[in-house]
């Protein structure tokens, strides 16, 4: 029997098991096991034998970087971000991947959004760093908005992106400096996440100046940012899409599976319903 797991600490409530259960069904592996492996940092080295026994596993905070020293090889996606969220055991060799970037791009594509126009991104820590770099690599005219205390970090991300694409257009500003119209607004900040669901990372006027909204938050299903966008007839893509798509890409790596948009949309809808229970 195939065995997989999610590695992280602390994990609390995670959507990964029900998402992967549905995906294993589509893979023709309904009996595959998927465990939640909550390992404190001081115990990680002791679990290497267990991790090596798995067919594959996902990694979340705080191990996306720490896991690298236990792997045999890194895919280009993991090398680019020095971050791993998916490992496959291929003929005894553990290979690390980053499926966050693929999940991000697939969810944008499925939602009809593009990265080659004027893009306004709120925040760029964690997964936001990946989003900013991918935007720069895809030809966006990117504006990163950061709080004053995070401006230095945002400028470092911009410099990193420019090294990968010297022709990229990137500016870093504070919230007070936002002006003009944008093709895409991306929220990479935690503002609006449960339980602070009444918060929005930008003003309603800023939302109205954008043609499309991408929200990295998946709890709640519809954030304040998304509800404002929808009120003005602006398409909004929720974070659950990225969460499910990055999991679907993991199955492509693990099993050579291939999910179509319709299958993934069904799982996204099911997980949204699961979240509201």
pLDDT of residue 13: 81
Residues 6+ apart with CB under 8 A from 71: 84, 87, 94, 95, 96
pLDDT tens, position by position, 176-190: 999 999 999 999 999
Question: What predicted TM-score, i.e. pTM, was given to this entire model?
Answer: 0.94
pLDDT of residue 182: 98
pLDDT lower than 50: segments of the chain: none
Around Cβ 177, how many Cβ atoms within 10 Å?
A: 10
Catalytic, 64? Answer: yes
pLDDT of residue 1: 85
pLDDT of residue 158: 97
Query: Can you tell me the distance from the alpha carbon of 173 to that of 158, in angstroms, rounded to the nearest whole number?
Result: 11
Query: Can you tell me the distance from the alpha carbon of 86 to that of 254, in angstroms, rounded to the nearest whole number?
Result: 9
Helices (H), the chain: 16-27, 48-52, 76-81, 100-110, 127-137, 151-164, 204-208, 224-231, 239-255, 261-275
pLDDT of residue 126: 86
Catalytic pick among 29, 64, 224, 272: 64
CB of 226 closer than 8 Å to CB of 238: yes
């Amino acid at each position: 029997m195939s065995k997989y797991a999610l590695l992280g600490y602390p994990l609390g409530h995670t959507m990964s098991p029900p998402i992967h259960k549905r995906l294993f069904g589509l893979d023709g592996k309904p009996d595959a096991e998927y465990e939640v492996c909550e390992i404190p940092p001081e115990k990680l080295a002791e679990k290497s034998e267990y991790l090596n026994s798995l067919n594959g596993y996902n990694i979340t905070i705080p191990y996306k970087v720490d896991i690298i020293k236990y792997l045999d090889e890194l895919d280009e996606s993991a090398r680019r971000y020095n971050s791993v969220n998916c490992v496959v055991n291929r003929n005894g060799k553990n290979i690390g991947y980053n499926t966050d970037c693929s999940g991000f791009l697939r969810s944008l594509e499925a939602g009809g959004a593009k990265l080659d126009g004027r893009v306004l991104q709120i925040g760029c820590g964690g997964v936001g760093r990946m989003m900013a770099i991918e935007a720069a690599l895809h030809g966006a005219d990117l504006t990163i908005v950061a709080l004053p205390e995070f401006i230095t970090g945002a400028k470092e991300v911009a410099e990193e992106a420019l090294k990968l694409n010297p022709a990229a257009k990137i500016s870093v500003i504070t919230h007070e400096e936002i002006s003009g119209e944008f093709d895409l607004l991306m929220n990479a900040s935690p503002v609006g996440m449960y339980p602070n669901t009444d918060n929005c990372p930008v003003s309603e006027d800023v939302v109205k100046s954008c043609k499309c909204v991408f929200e990295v938050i998946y709890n709640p299903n519809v954030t304040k940012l998304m509800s404002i966008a929808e009120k003005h007839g602006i398409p909004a893509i929720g974070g659950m899409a990225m969460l499910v798509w990055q999991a679907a890409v993991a199955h492509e790596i693990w099993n050579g599976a291939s999910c179509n948009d319709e299958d993934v949309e069904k799982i996204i809808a099911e997980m949204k319903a699961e979240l509201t229970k």
